[in-house]
């Protein structure tokens, strides 16, 4: 097994030790070194180039954003931001994504045994995804990610879709690594009369609210973090809150969302599989599914259930994905109707919304 070599850059010795400890039992990941600031990191990189860098934003001598910009302009490498700023969804976190960071995680904290185990899973999987990210749009190598729980842990398997007639349509979207920028491009190109969207993007708790607020400033449609009981309305996108599962439900002819707790499903919370399964049951042929860039198989089985229930499904193509994992797995299950570049997804969604 080829190991993923990780360099941790953080001015806190406690954080460096904690992350190193979290990763020490992972058979495919090795911490090649740590550094208290970018200057020490540069010296280490000159001797050995890591596969993935874990980078703090707030550091002495040189901040993480400045280092990230220099790195991406001179020697691009997969970078995962690990910062307390991610918890508040600060502007610095969004800038890091714009400057080329692959993903963002929050700094590990002490808690219950279950909390520590879930943090370990998230951090390790984020590193694996980053190691396969196509920084220059080069197709990444295949990597299988085994699920932890299926959607059965949150919602029963689909038996038969709800049959009540309605003219309302719903668009269910799932994304992970690289999805923040992909979603921005898609949502900015949707018209005000588009059918309501419900979106699961794997990202830290609290960061989803700031992400939604930022998209709302950029898009013609309204974008906001979903709250329990929110209606799915035309011209509006609801972003699943971090660390909570989001399900589509139906009350009469009106769709709404339910926000609930539960275990990690396909190693994630929120899980795309949970959203897609609930969409298959409550929307059936009135739904459009979109699966975008991301590592692993979250969403593939749920999209197949949507397909079997009559939904029209779209997958982002390999060339435009940062990581062609989730779309590939859905395609392998014959769950997808169209495989197209990111640039064509908005038009395809609009066209499908008018037809169903």
The single residue of 176, 271, 278, 320 carrying the catalytic annotation is: 176
The single residue of 37, 103, 298, 317 carrying the catalytic annotation is: 298
Q: What is the DSSP letter of 194?
A: P
In the listed set 100, 131, 162, which residue is the last one of a domain according to the structure?
A: 131
The β-bridge relationship of strands 245-251 and 254-260 is antiparallel
Which pLDDT score, from 0 to 100, does residue 1 have?
A: 66
The domain in which residue 101 lies consists of: 4-131
CATH of the domain at 53: 3.40.50.2300
Do 126 and 179 lie in one domain? The reply is no
Q: Is 176 a catalytic residue?
A: yes
β-sheet bridge partners, residue 255: 250
In the listed set 131, 159, 192, which residue is the last one of a domain according to the structure?
A: 131
CA distance 351 to 135: 31
Is-contact 246 236, C-beta < 8 A? Answer: no
Do 94 and 162 lie in one domain? The reply is no
Which pLDDT score, from 0 to 100, does residue 234 have?
A: 95
Do 105 and 215 lie in one domain? The reply is no
Q: Is 75 a catalytic residue?
A: no
Q: Is 317 a catalytic residue?
A: no
Do 346 and 206 lie in one domain? The reply is yes
Q: How many domains does the chain have?
A: 2
- Name residues of the chain where pLDDT drops below 50: 137-146
Do 58 and 167 lie in one domain? The reply is no
CATH of the domain at 222: 3.40.50.180
Instruction: Tell me whether residue 145 is in a domain.
Output: no
**pLDDT (tens digit per residue) in 190-212:** 999 999 999 999 988 878 998 99
Instruction: Tell me whether residue 121 is in a domain.
Output: yes
Maximum separation of any 2 CA atoms in the chain, in Å: 65
Instruction: Tell me whether residue 206 is in a domain.
Output: yes
The single residue of 37, 202, 297, 353 carrying the catalytic annotation is: 202
Q: Cβ neighbours of residue 43 under 8 Å, at least 6 residues apart?
A: 35
Which pLDDT score, from 0 to 100, does residue 138 have?
A: 28
Instruction: Tell me whether residue 142 is in a domain.
Output: no
């Amino acid at each position: 097994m080829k190991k993923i070599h990780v360099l941790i850059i953080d001015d806190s010795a406690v954080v460096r030790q904690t992350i190193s400890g979290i990763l020490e039992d992972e058979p495919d990941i090795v911490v090649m070194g740590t550094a208290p600031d970018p200057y020490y990191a540069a010296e280490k990189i000159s001797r050995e180039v890591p596969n993935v860098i874990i980078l703090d934003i707030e550091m002495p001598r040189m901040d993480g954003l400045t280092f990230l910009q220099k790195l991406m302009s001179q020697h691009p490498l997969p970078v995962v931001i690990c910062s307390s700023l991610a918890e508040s969804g600060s502007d610095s976190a969004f800038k890091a994504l714009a400057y080329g960071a692959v993903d963002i995680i929050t700094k590990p904290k002490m808690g219950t045994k279950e909390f520590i185990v879930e943090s370990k899973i998230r951090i390790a999987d984020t590193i694996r995804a980053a190691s396969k990210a196509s920084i220059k749009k080069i197709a990444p190598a295949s990597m299988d990610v085994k699920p932890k729980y299926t959607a059965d842990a949150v919602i029963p398997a689909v038996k038969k879709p709800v049959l009540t007639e309605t003219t309302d349509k719903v668009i269910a979207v799932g994304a992970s690594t690289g999805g923040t920028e992909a979603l921005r491009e898609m949502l900015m190109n949707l018209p005000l009369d588009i059918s309501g969207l419900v979106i699961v993007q794997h990202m830290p708790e609290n960061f989803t609210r700031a992400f939604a607020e930022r998209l709302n400033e950029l898009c013609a449609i309204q974008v906001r973090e979903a709250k329990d009981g929110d209606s799915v309305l035309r011209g509006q996108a609801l972003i699943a809150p971090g660390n909570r599962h989001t399900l589509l439900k139906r009350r009469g002819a009106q769709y709404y969302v339910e926000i609930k707790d539960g275990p990690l499903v396909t190693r994630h919370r929120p899980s795309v599989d949970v959203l897609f399964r609930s969409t298959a049951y409550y929307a059936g042929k009135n739904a459009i599914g979109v699966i975008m860039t991301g590592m692993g198989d979250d969403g593939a089985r749920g999209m197949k259930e949507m397909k079997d229930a009559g939904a029209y499904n779209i997958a982002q193509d390999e060339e435009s994905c940062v990581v062609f994992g989730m779309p590939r797995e859905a395609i392998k299950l014959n769950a997808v109707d169209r495989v197209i570049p990111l640039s064509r997804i908005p038009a395809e969604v609009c066209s499908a919304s008018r037809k169903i």
